Chain A
Amino acid sequence: MRRRLGRTLAGAATALALAATACGGGTGSGEGTSANGGQCTPETPVISFAAYSTPREVYGKIIPAFQAKWKDEHDGQTVIVQESYGGSTSQAQNVVNGYPADVVALSLAPDVDVIADAGLITHDWTAVGDGGMVSASVVVFDVREGNPAGLQDFDDLTQGGLEILTPDPASSGGARWNIVAAYGAALRGHAGVEESDAAGAGTLLEGIFRNVTALDKSARDSIKNFESGNGDVAITYENEVLTANKAGLPDEMVIPPSTVLIENPVAVVDANAEDHCVKDVADAFVDYLFTDEVKDLYSSVGFLRPADRDAAAEDDGDMFPAIDDLFTVEDLGGWDQIDRDVFGDEGAFTTAFERAQD
């Protein structure tokens, strides 16, 4: 009897360890599970929100506004939003690998498509709002006060001895926007390259990446690195520089004459939202992001150039200076073509990067 206690204790120990894993698993508190077949209308819905690294500050404003609005319209019901920010491509891959995000706000459309291709997004997310794009910006250079290196265009980035910061395209969406901007500008006859000279564009990329000293895992990491005193220039989103300025930092912005219009998608991840019984809240959240109220919030922190390309290129007299040649991914043939021409195995960037390592 008593001797058996020893054995029982040993067995209980192992069970405890396994129980510890099972207990914390499953869905969090406040969420119903349709898998349970039980209640699927949680008292306090919890939305898991995965975004790219840059828009923390603006969602820090938007989410409380949404929560207040929902409370008003739904008898004081509280919605909890659990946020996480990281490199866009990393986040997309995380979601595909099991991260239980209900709504994703990523840097570029291909990252959302990756999630859709995995079967987690089952509706046409581009049919929501303005083609599914919730914010826009442009690729700029973040330089030291006074622009000591005199950088104006992408070919200036190839000058010897310059140290450039740009994130890693394997994990960051912003990194890919930066590369597309340089490539596109070159193809369109800027940055010292003949129009439609693909080889010239490749050489430009090679020159730039020879000067890249660090590939941080997200756009935010990259600009923070720059702010710590490293590098002479960081290629980044216009809104990142504006956010930094708002935080009191002396980052100075240079907009190259030809640059790409960055459009950031947002989408409900149907599979997860349905599993967590928060589809209606998630849909409402995404719809909310396309309202004028939120558009104003985005603009106020430098996030939203008008979605219309021509309007976007204009000087709005306030925060957004004019741009000589603002192009979009459509002008370059769309993301599929860009993925092949630039990021494919024989792509302009892939080969340029390899050559730049020598």
Chain B
Amino acid sequence: MSATPVARSAPPGVEHRARRWMVAGTLVYVGVLVVAPLVGIFWTALGHGLGIVGQTFSRPDVRHAFVLTGVVALITVVVTTFLGTIVALVLVRFRFIGSRVVSAIVDLPLAVSPVIVGLMAVLLFGRGGWFEPFFASRGIQIIFAVPSMVLVTIFICIPFVIREVAPVLEEVGTGEEEAARIVGASSLQTFLRVTLPNIRWGLLYGVALSAARALGEIGAVLIVSGAIQGRTETATLYVLRALEERQEASGNVVALTLAAISIVLLVAIEAFKRRQERIREERAA
């Protein structure tokens, strides 16, 4: 949110100094807390030379881990975007009794620790679980296999798209949609031609947040996946194993790669957020 600075009347010397201290404080705090660790991992991972990067990525288990992370994140983002948009529409456009409760439920995953999410999946799909007989009799493996990893990641990412799209839907209002319907557009056309363009940046912002969260998931997948190398081991799980196997160098390289991907996502997140803010300001004008 790069807001336009508020014009101030000529400040006395004291105020200037105080502000300078605050800026310094900000730079130090953010620098030490956020930037330094990032620099640290760069240094440590690449301090062994770039050869270790090539070595790490030549390993089939590392490559598979990244592919698996990508697949899980992709499915998660697609599902949460699609269904999240529907939920946001329902919440905002169709007021109904208990919508407050539903809104609270949407926020629930934000409050649940990932280990609890993993436990939930095991209780439902693991041995003795509520749904286990159904899937076992059909020979479908949920726990210790990819489906459970997808399910837990979806759970964790549910709120992101909804929370970004809903306020935009509220701000935009129904006016244009009504107009479209009056001229005879179907619901789907209205959605595609009118609503979607309006919520576009908020939606993309939510999608980027969701993607970042999905590729970083560790707690829940650690519990449900079994971390089977070459089968259910994600990039984050690989880092954990590399540290256990005394292969810190490889672990650091993969961690650094994940950090780099997150930074790319961050740039996207910031860009979408800024667009969204700008449109909101224009609308308010």
Task: State whether A13 and B189 are in contact (beta carbons under 8 Å apart), knowing that A25-B141, A98-B126 are contacts in the complex.
Answer: no
How many angstroms from the CA of A244 to the CA of B142 in the assembled complex? 36
B124 to chain A, nearest CB (A): 12
* Interchain CB contact under 8 A, A6 and B244: no
Among candidates B86, B126, B127, B227, residue contacting A13 with C-beta atoms closer than 8 Å: B86
B61 to chain A, nearest CB (A): 9
* Interchain CB contact under 8 A, B127 and A24: no
Task: State whether A6 and B140 are in contact (beta carbons under 8 Å apart), knowing that A17-B79, A20-B75, A97-B127 are contacts in the complex.
Answer: no
Chain B residues, Cβ within 8 Å of A96 = 127
Chain A binding surface, main DSSP class: helix
* Interchain CB contact under 8 A, A24 and B150: yes
Cβ of A188 < 8 Å from any Cβ of B?
Answer: no
Task: State whether A220 and B244 are in contact (beta carbons under 8 Å apart), knowing that A6-B188, A97-B126 are contacts in the complex.
Answer: yes
Task: State whether A82 and B231 are in contact (beta carbons under 8 Å apart), knowing that A98-B127, A99-B226, A100-B141 are contacts in the complex.
Answer: yes
How many angstroms from the CA of A84 to the CA of B186 in the assembled complex? 53
Chain A residues, Cβ within 8 Å of B154 = 17
Cβ of A247 < 8 Å from any Cβ of B?
Answer: yes
Cβ of A57 < 8 Å from any Cβ of B?
Answer: yes
Chain B residues, Cβ within 8 Å of A33 = 139
Interface string of B226-267 (1 = CB under 8 A from A): 111111000000000101111000000000000000000000
Cβ of A22 < 8 Å from any Cβ of B?
Answer: yes
How many angstroms from the CA of A49 to the CA of B208 in the assembled complex? 37
* Interchain CB contact under 8 A, B244 and A94: no
* Interchain CB contact under 8 A, B186 and A3: yes
- Considering the complex, which residues of chain A in the window 1-57 have a beta carbon less than 8 Å from any beta carbon of chain B? 2-3, 5-6, 9-10, 13, 16-17, 20-28, 33, 35, 48, 53, 56-57
Cβ of A83 < 8 Å from any Cβ of B?
Answer: yes
How many angstroms from the CA of A221 to the CA of B145 in the assembled complex? 24
State how many residues of chain B have any CB contact under 8 Å with chain A.
Answer: 39
Chain B residues, Cβ within 8 Å of A221 = 244
Cβ of A80 < 8 Å from any Cβ of B?
Answer: yes
Cβ of A61 < 8 Å from any Cβ of B?
Answer: no
* Interchain CB contact under 8 A, B143 and A98: yes
The residue in chain B whose Cβ has the minimal distance to the Cβ of A10 is: B86
- Considering the complex, which residues of chain B in the window 205-235 have a beta carbon less than 8 Å from any beta carbon of chain A? 226-231
Cβ of B146 < 8 Å from any Cβ of A?
Answer: yes
How many angstroms from the CA of A35 to the CA of B136 in the assembled complex? 12
Using CB atoms and an 8 Å cutoff, list the residues of chain B in contact with chain A: 75, 78-79, 82-83, 86, 126-127, 132, 135-136, 139-147, 150-151, 154, 186-189, 191, 226-231, 241, 243-246
7 nearest CB pairs, A to B: A24-B146, A25-B140, A2-B186, A97-B127, A21-B147, A82-B230, A84-B228
Q: 12 new A-B pairs (CB below 8 Å) besides A56-B244, A247-B246?
A: A9-B188, A20-B150, A21-B147, A21-B151, A22-B147, A24-B150, A25-B141, A83-B230, A85-B244, A97-B143, A98-B136, A98-B143
The contact sample of 9 A-B pairs, CB cut-off 8 A, is A2-B188, A6-B191, A13-B86, A17-B154, A20-B147, A21-B147, A26-B139, A98-B144, A99-B144
